[in-house]
Amino acid sequence: MKNKNIKRRIDRVLSKSVLKQACLWVILVSIIFAILFLVKWICHIEVSHANWILHFLNPANSFPETTQNIEKFWALLIGGIGMFCLSGLLIPIVSNIINRRVEKVQNGQTYYRFENHVVIIGYNKLCAGLIQQYEGTDIVLQTVREVPKIRHELFSKVKDEENITILSGNRTFEEDLKKLHLTQCKEIFILGETDEEDNDSLNIICLKKINRLLADSKKTVRCNVLFQHQSTFAIFQQQDIEIDKHIDFVPFNCHETWAQKVLVERKYKDIEYTPLDHHPITAGSDKHVHFVIIGMSGMGVAMGIQAAHLCHFPNFITRKIKTRITFIDEHADREMNFLLGRYKHLFKETDYYYRELGDERNNLGNQSSKIKFTDIEFEFIKSRIENPKMQEELAKWSLDNQSYLTIAVCFSFSPDAIAAGLYLPDEVYDRKIPVVIQQELSDYTLSMLSKRTQNSYWKYENVKPFGMLDDCYDLELADEHAAMMIKYIYNKTRTDCEVTELPIHEIEAMWKQWDETKNVIALKYSNRYCANSRHIKQRSLNIQPNESLLPEQINLLAQVEHNRWNIEKLLMGYRPTTPEEAEEIATRRRSKSFYKERFIHNDIQAYQTLTKDDEGILVNLYDVNIAKALPLMLRELDKLKTKI
């Protein structure tokens, strides 16, 4: 049994720890030399110790002619031992150390000390596009997948390999997260792995563990958390979670990010997207935006919701003309009911219609005598896109001179999306109606089709791809300065009542030291959505950077802003107060803040009926000050863009 235990221990040493192997070699050599010295001492053999060491290190040393036989014998013996210990044992051990090190590096099991780096936790299709935007910055990527495969896949897309370190680890294990040196990093992305069913839950678990690890951190770290499901993302837009102030929690969703690229920034690489209002919709305009979304996928719903955030125009105030958002899907009845449940407060305050092509049950919806104060209306059509009657409807909409039509094809399966987008009625292409087609993997096919070749008919000029997951996250969209300015204007309205300058350093400090204690995330998103609307407002009222607005422009712009704000709050889960709740506020039995904490907002109403807030400030003054400050905002944002 003892022999077996000794063998087992030796085998474990040889198969596992390289350091223990080296120690075992040193012990073995020491024992051999100890035995030799003992024999030499007992037998009184006169042999030079220096010769022993020389022959041990180099058995090929020659013998002088005067060398005695006994010395030759000991030299040969020690030389043989040296060959065994050095060539037979030491060289394989050193080789093993190198091989083990290479193997650890290849498998992501070698850990370094990082500083001022970007941490990406999890590997999916977003990684390559995200990493390419951080040129010259150290990137630490942690994944549970096989690191050699990830390295091969990632480096086929990313050229700069020197600054990228791939580590093996599980994002739900604190020990693995500690190896990322999160206290020294400048930004964190929690993405999760490809095709995880519980991706969103695991990302939240990871965020909680990072929160504990950063408990003693002296700086605030921006932590971007991907939510794959739109419903989960919407929840975390509204609700605070229990994390400390040293984490700036920013939830994001690929569908919403792409919707903002197409509808807000209107640019992707060398592709420029047409705005939903093809030309400025002024107070005297008789036109309206008609946004048609084919396919109520996650992307389709995100595009519709983003359009609802943006499309607010002064001609609703002057002529009661509304923006129309139309969803077309073969399961529109089911998907509509899902949306009605998810945004129940929105659909109680907006007009919506449902119809099935080929069925007499048309114009079903929230039929009510109540006049809605909102400026958006929705339409749900149950039909397949290839249905001849649906094609006739699209052709008719294309010929409508009173609307600015845009079509978005939102099918997750790229070939189906291309088929639907390229075989629309001829009127769509002849009238140059903007068509955007979702492509999850590559935009090459559509980008090639949309380019004119010499002496060819440019049929697909306005057909453009969007939705590519490998280019989802855009650092330009992550710039918060516009949203920071909106918060600054809100805060100044409570004190100075009007903003005459926008000091960037003060604005940044105010954003970092958020003073509200409830629903911080929802309030930040409110600022972001308000900032996103600046381009449409600028076009509608012909606003020039740093040029003061006329009183009639301010009045119109303030009402447009409040109409936008109404829809935003309804989308974020707030509801208007009931008459009884409004009475309690009016008689000061309850404050507005009491209800706002419960996602009930007394200011979700028509602009003309607004009253004062809890601080005694007329609520419409916030809208007025945002309107007045818009030219100043545009100027300062242009300055920041020039510096970048």
pLDDT in tens, 26-43: 777 777 667 666 666 666
Could you tell me the end-to-end alpha-carbon distance of the chain, in angstroms, rounded to an integer? 73
Distance CA 96, CA 102 (A): 10
Residue 142: phi, psi to the nearest 5?
Answer: -115, 135
DSSP H or E segment with residue 107 = none
* Top-confidence range, 77-81, 128-132, 275-279: 275-279
Question: What is the tens place of the pLDDT at every residue in 551-571?
Answer: 999 999 999 999 999 999 999
Map out the domains of the chain with their CATH numbers: 2-106 (no CATH), 118-252 (3.40.50.720), 282-471 (3.40.50), 487-643 (no CATH)
How much is the pLDDT for 404?
98
Model confidence at 151, in pLDDT bands (50, 70, 90)?
confident
Indicate the residue type of 377. Answer: E
Q: Name which of 384, 381, 386, 385 is nearest 365 in CA terms.
A: 381
DSSP state of 470: G
Cα dihedral 212, 213, 217, 222, rounded to 10, equals -80
Counted residue by residue, the chain has a size of 644
Higher pLDDT, 356 or 236: 356
What is the overall mean pLDDT for the chain?
Answer: 84
How much is the pLDDT for 452?
57
Contacts 24+ apart (CB under 8 A), 80-88: 81/32, 81/56, 82/55, 82/56, 82/57, 82/58, 83/59, 85/25, 85/28, 85/29, 85/32, 85/56, 86/56, 86/57
Q: Name which of 464, 22, 531 is nearest 266 in CA terms.
A: 464
How much is the pLDDT for 311?
97
Higher pLDDT, 268 or 436: 436
pTM of the model: 0.83
Cβ neighbours, 10 Å, residue 568? 22
Mean pLDDT along residues 398-409:
97
How much is the pLDDT for 74?
62
Model confidence at 497, in pLDDT bands (50, 70, 90)?
confident
How much is the pLDDT for 1?
47
* Top-confidence range, 72-81, 403-412, 584-593: 403-412
Contacts 24+ apart (CB under 8 A), 94-103: 96/18, 96/21, 97/18, 97/22, 100/18
Question: What is the tens place of the pLDDT at every residue in 109-146?
Answer: 777 888 899 999 999 988 988 998 888 889 999 999 99
How much is the pLDDT for 4?
46
Rg (CA), the chain: 35
Q: In this predicted structure, which of 377-386, 496-505, 538-547 has the lowest mean pLDDT? A: 496-505
Mean pLDDT along residues 626-642:
91
Higher pLDDT, 398 or 233: 398
Q: Check pLDDT > 60 for residue 23.
A: yes
Q: Check pLDDT > 80 for residue 63.
A: no
40-to-27, 43, 44 alpha-carbon distances in Å = 20, 5, 6
Contact criterion met (CB below 8 Å) for 378 and 351: yes
Q: Check pLDDT > 70 for residue 108.
A: yes
Q: Name which of 224, 235, 158 is nearest 191 in CA terms.
A: 224
The angle that helices 91-106 and 18-43 make with each other, rounded to 10 degrees, is: 170
Question: What is the tens place of the pLDDT at every residue in 183-230?
Answer: 999 999 999 998 888 889 999 999 999 999 998 888 888 899 999 888
Contacts (Cβ under 8 Å, ≥6 apart) of 538: 630, 634
DSSP H or E segment with residue 354 = strand 351-356
Tokens of residue 323, six digits: 């923006």
How much is the pLDDT for 66?
47
Q: What percent of the chain has pLDDT over 90?
A: 49
